[in-house]
Amino acid sequence: MRRYIHSKWAKTVAIAASPAVKPHIPSTRRLSRSTLKAMLEQYRMVYVKPDIGTFGNGVMRVEWREGGGEKPYAYHAGTAEMSFAGFDELYASLEAATRKRKYLVQKGIELLTYNGSRFDLRVMVQKSPQGRWETTGIIGRVAAPKKIVTNFHNGGTLKPVEALLGPYVSGERKQRYVRRLERLGLHVAQAMQRKYGGVKEIGVDVALDPALNPWILEVNTSPDPYIFRKLKNKAVYAKILRYARAHKR
């Protein structure tokens, strides 16, 4: 049974089979000239990402600013932004950047911000040594200035989820919201296991939009446990590491 699944497309298909998870998946398609054009016309902003890749490398934010002057098309990669007069010019540049590798195009989610920088969340879900799925930790990832990805390995900053949610929800509502994220993580893990029985742990990347709707951006079947060292609550990291090591014996 496969434990590690590298294709983002394969993982998207697997979790979309769950009625509890599907409403939280942004529209995602394989990248082609026609799918990019259609999704830009529908959503105005999308993300283009490699089907196989880590740490946010190769991710691009693509926009069509209707009525946006002489160069209404643009994409943002790393800290660079390029603008184009027409769609064909934009797509030719993207083709050169992707080097014709397999890519996906995903509906863009306008992320909540912390001190002016976008953030998302990593939800860690693991099988306990007894074989029961548990959400063992949630941590926030704040993008570096002028960057579109939040990954720690791409310059992002790690923050407790409670601190990031503070400006948007408080008190008991905040606690209920965190529990909602924990349940969503469990649903994703169960959906992955139905398709890939060997999966032991996952990291679910979740974006929050201005209405606090959670959106699943990606599922990682080899999540980095060490980012949780940054939390003040050291018991969280200790548990995550204990569960991770239990499955490597």
Q: Is residue 73 part of a domain?
A: yes
Pair 47, 163 in one domain = no
What's the number of domains the chain is made of? Answer: 2
Pair 21, 32 in one domain = no
CATH number of the CATH domain containing 56: 3.30.1490
Query: Could you report the per-residue pLDDT of 204-246, keeping only the tens digit for each?
Result: 999 999 999 999 999 999 998 989 998 889 999 999 999 998 8
CATH number of the CATH domain containing 121: 3.30.470.20
Q: For every residue of the chain, which 3-state class applies, written as one string?
A: CCCCCCCHHHHHHHHHCCCCCHHHCCCEEECCHHHHHHHHHHHCEEEEEECCCCCCCCCEEEEECCCCCCCCEEEEECCEEEEECCHHHHHHHHHHHHCCCCEEEEECCCCCEECCEEEEEEEEEEECCCCCEEEEEEEEEECCCCCCCCCHHHCCEEEEHHHHHCCCCCHHHHHHHHHHHHHHHHHHHHHHHHHCCCCCEEEEEEEECCCCCEEEEEEECCCCHHHHHHCCCHHHHHHHHHHHHHCCC
Pair 116, 135 in one domain = yes
- The domain boundary residue, chosen from 49, 82, 107: 107
Averaged pLDDT, 158-183: 94
Pair 97, 201 in one domain = no
Q: Is residue 2 part of a domain?
A: no
Query: Could you report the per-residue pLDDT of 60-90, keeping only the tens digit for each?
Result: 999 998 776 788 999 988 778 889 999 999 9
Q: Which domain holds residue 43?
A: 28-107
Pair 85, 171 in one domain = no
